[in-house]
Amino acid sequence: MDLSRRTLLTGTAVAAAGPALARDDAPPAVLVSTWDFGAPANAAGHAVRLAGGSALDMVEAGARVAEADETNASVGLGGFPDREGHVTLDAVIMNGRGDMGAVCALEDIVHAVSVARRVMEATPHVILVGEGARAFALEQGFDTTPLLTPESEAAWRRWLETSNYAPRANSENTDWPGGASDHDTIGILGIDAQGRMAGACTTSGMAFKMRGRVGDSPIPGAGLSVDDEVGAATGTGVGEDILRVSGAHAVVEAMRAGLDPGAACRRVIERLARLRGDKIADHQVALLALDRQGRAGGFALRPGFTYAVTDAAGQTRLVRAESLFS
């Protein structure tokens, strides 16, 4: 994506001060999402908002944009497969009142986020996995689609040549850290015209992961947390790290304790760094939050994390988050 076509807040990129923390002069956000591909996702969510859709409708619509984009190798169609060559999708969606649904290791269905929403609305459960999730999706009328594109298959075959079949954190980030392809999962958070909040997170997970591996993204409290009383948070990066600190939940609780979104994300990243030390020496983890007042903020372990913020007028700005390490 050509970042120059949108407003890019480059506080840290062009100056020392941090753009990742909420800016008092910024108009309240109604949608935020991870990475540069969050901008078109936010645009879809914003259109739903204008049409009177709920926060759930907004974030689902946004997440579906990334899922349908086959050039995005970390979400939905065209996602990188596991190490055995199967594309398996993880997704969660929730509102700010405890309604939630998720799917893990879903195969052959592009819109995992919409299956997750059906889990939320049409079952007594929160999470369905694997074959059961797929069978449920088919019962609900979802179509099957081969998710492995020629491009993703070629990348997997190249990886097989040198990988010794071992999954590696950030292996999808060919020019990590901070490069154009240094992005993964989409997490999207929204506030509708009634002030209700919702979030969604959808991914094909860590590239070339072990078969059956599930990261943080579909796990409530890890990849996503939403509370109408406080705000919402999501994460991207090495899911194992985010799981270890209940990342999104920890951010929401830090906001409940009074921190603004950027500071809350920073606190949890700092906690992760203290907890894991050298074990996360080459990992990227990023957290993104939106509070109920519409203040947005994010923070990352390492440089390269960008997020998209859209206000009620539909203006989107891309923000480069500050990071703990340079």
Q: Which residues are catalytic?
A: 185
Looking at the Cβ atoms of 215 and 262, the one nearer to ligand ASP is: 215
Least spacing, CB of residue 245 vs ligand ASP, in Å: 13
Does 152 bind ligand ASP (CB under 6 A)? Our answer is: no
Least spacing, CB of residue 210 vs ligand ASP, in Å: 12
Least spacing, CB of residue 84 vs ligand ASP, in Å: 16
Does 82 bind ligand ASP (CB under 6 A)? Our answer is: no
Residues 205-244 that bind ligand ASP (CB under 6 A): 205-206, 215-217, 236-239
β-bridge partners, 94: 100, 199
Least spacing, CB of residue 314 vs ligand ASP, in Å: 27
Does 203 bind ligand ASP (CB under 6 A)? Our answer is: yes
Looking at the Cβ atoms of 53 and 205, the one nearer to ligand ASP is: 205
Looking at the Cβ atoms of 48 and 300, the one nearer to ligand ASP is: 300
Q: How far apart are CA 130 and CA 166, in angstroms?
A: 22
Site string for ligand ASP, 264-293 (x = CB under 6 A): ------------------------------
Q: In angstroms, how far is CA 281 from the centroid of its own chain?
A: 22
Contact pick of 185, 234, 316, 323 for ligand ASP (by CB under 6 A)? 185
| # chain residues binding ligand ASP, by CB under 6 A | 12
Least spacing, CB of residue 241 vs ligand ASP, in Å: 8
Stretch of residues binding ligand ASP (CB under 6 A), selected from 24-32, 91-99, 200-208, 245-253: 200-208
β-bridge partners, 290: 232, 296
Q: Closest CB to ligand ASP belongs to which residue? A: 239
Residues at the site binding ligand ASP, with contacts judged by CB under 6 A: 184-185, 203, 205-206, 215-217, 236-239
